[in-house]
Amino acid sequence: MAEEAKSRGNAAFSAGDYATAVEHFTDAIALSPTNHVLYSNRSAAHASLHHYADALKDAKKTVELKPDWSKGYSRLGAAHLGLHQIQDAISAYKKGLEIDPNNEGLKSGLADAQAAASQSRAAPPPSPFGNIFSGPEMWAKLTADPSTRMYLQQPDFVKMMQEIQKNPNNLNLYLKDQRVMQAIGVLLNVKFGGPNPGDDMEIPEETSTPQSSASERKEDKKMEEEKVAEPEPMEVTGEEKEAKEAKERKAQAAKEKELGNAAYKKKEFEKAIEHYTKATELDDEDISYLTNRAAVYLETGKYDECIKDCDKAVERGRELRSDFKMIARALTRKGTALVKMAKCSRDYEPAIETFQKALTEHRNPDTLKKLNEAEKAKKDLEQQEYFDPKLAEEEREKGNESFKQQKYPEAVKHYSESLRRNPKDPKTYSNRAACYTKLGALPEGLKDAEMCIELDPTFSKGYTRKGAVQFFMKEYDKALETYQEGLKHDPRNQELLDGVRRCVEQLNKASRGDLSPEELKERQAKAMQDPEIQNILSDPVMRQVLVDFQENPKAAQEHTKNPMVMSKIQKLVQAGIVQMR
């Protein structure tokens, strides 16, 4: 029950329904309060909901229950980090790495915590001017105001404002410059006293008169044109130029990716590879170009190239601290390629390990399905590789020898090895059932006998083994049914006939009331655990029938004419619940 609730919680978590996941994990914890994995999972769900206090409580319980489990410290560190308890987070991650030094999740978490600690130490004091220097709004205001527009044509002023924009604390270096003070006034919408910013600028006086010569008028026109000329563009720094070029490269890489996606959908795989390759060359900070190219390689059967791209994507993704989902996708693609390359059961091991790593990065239902399929394929191949009827026969003979010598545990060992070599041999299941019966392991013996009958319904030994187990379990009515079923396939089988006789004797003994009080009590207790007996006793009609048998002989006589009612009465008699006198 706890495992079912856990599975429902995992499914909800994978679907992003974290509140529902918390509910299911809580149900699972109620059923299994000492399971550390359940507290760990609920901690992750709380953290996803940003309920870090609850996440911390569950993480502490996880570590308390399983102090040597590294993931518990990962949950603890994440909860502390969410609560801004940075030093506690660092301590938790370090403790986890002492247990598992190669755990990538703990390494990544420790790096995040240390980065947060550095940022908190290095955070500059807030500027008294707020954010008036941030963003393009500053340049827009300075351009719009006539008193500061002309300053933007002066490189030294532009450089000073750029330095202030990068670090507002640099303002103290330039307060003596009247132009800077004027700019601050414009940005704060405050007028500072002082000379007009245009007072120290040379503006030619108008010298033309109505009698001025043509050459003078021409010169005046030239001066007017100079007045309205566009301002020179601001000087661009090397960093800004590099940023602009990087932005253009990223945009071009994104276009190449779109072209690659279109080619992939059209099954033009070579073109898709070309476009994805160009994208990776233009922008090495987006690992989706690598994972997409890996998908093409996977589709075209170039599994080695696919694995190389996936490994590179994972390595680069960790350097860039990419989204865990992207890293998980790369690992899943690698695992899929490894499955495609697998030729024997051992080849599935690296694929299974890769899928498990992917699930630690991001629990995706598709990845989980691929993991289950790989594990099943590995198990099936192992059985095929281990299958050897000749060796199975040899082990069965060894088991028979041990059985004759009454070395029943040793016989079970040989029969089990024989079944691993050939799991479809009904004789071996029959023999092992006999061993289990001798050892008193009746449930195991019953299971083997039923498997024997399932593999070969005509094999009479299977029925004798099953009937014997049921007889020893004092389920005489069931044993009788088993023996009678076996006689349908082998009517003259003496073992089956003897089994029927023994069962009838026991059932008649109960009908006559010849059971001792202890035997009767034991049989009744056992019968009350039988679902069929429980259904008969809970049936209102049968309860009335039993009352009639005690109090109303005439009605009871009518009931005896009903075969279904009498069949149920017979079962109650055989079980010792009802006695006929």
Task: For residue 491, give the amino acid letter.
Answer: P
Identify the pLDDT of residue 125: 54
Burial 198-219 (b: 16+ CB within 10 A, else e): eeeeeeeeeeeeeeeeeeeeee
Q: What is the DSSP string of 164-225?
A: HHH-GGGGGGSTT-HHHHHHHHHHHT-PPPSS-TTTTS--PPP---TT--HHHHHHHHHHHH
Burial (CB count within 10 angstroms: exposed 0-12, middle 13-18, buried 19+), residue 369: exposed
Return d(Cα 331, Cα 314) in angstroms, integer.
7
Element (H, E) at 484: helix 476-489
H helical segments located in 490-562:
494-512, 517-527, 531-538, 540-551, 553-559
CB 235 within 8 A of CB 158: yes
Tokens matching residue 158: 């532009």
Identify the pLDDT of residue 515: 64
CB 150 within 8 A of CB 133: no
Identify the pLDDT of residue 242: 77
CB 162 within 8 A of CB 142: no
Identify the pLDDT of residue 524: 67
Identify the pLDDT of residue 269: 94
Identify the pLDDT of residue 150: 83
The C-alpha angle 109, 111, 112, rounded to 5 degrees, equals 65
Identify the pLDDT of residue 236: 42
Return d(Cα 248, Cα 250) in angstroms, integer.
5
Identify the pLDDT of residue 201: 36
Task: For residue 6, give the amino acid letter.
Answer: K
Element (H, E) at 350: helix 348-361
pLDDT by 10s per residue, the chain, length 581? 788 888 888 888 878 788 999 999 999 999 999 999 999 999 989 988 889 899 999 999 999 999 999 999 999 999 998 888 999 999 999 999 999 988 888 888 888 888 888 876 655 555 566 667 766 677 777 877 888 888 888 888 888 888 887 777 777 777 778 888 888 888 877 665 544 433 333 333 333 333 444 444 444 444 444 333 333 344 444 566 777 888 888 899 999 999 999 999 999 999 999 999 999 999 988 999 999 999 999 999 999 999 999 999 999 999 988 889 999 999 999 999 999 999 888 999 999 999 999 999 988 899 999 999 999 999 888 888 888 899 999 999 999 999 999 999 999 999 999 999 999 999 999 999 999 999 999 999 999 999 999 999 999 999 999 999 999 988 888 899 999 999 999 999 999 999 999 988 887 776 666 667 776 677 667 777 778 878 888 888 888 888 877 788 778 778 778 888 888 877 777 666 666 55
CA-nearest of 113, 72, 79 to 96 is 72
Return d(Cα 223, Cα 219) in angstroms, integer.
6
Identify the pLDDT of residue 581: 54
Identify the pLDDT of residue 419: 93
Identify the pLDDT of residue 206: 35
CA-nearest of 59, 122, 119, 65 to 91 is 59
> What is the rounded (10 degree) CA torsion for 498, 502, 505, 508?
-110
Identify the pLDDT of residue 134: 67
> What is this structure's pTM?
0.39
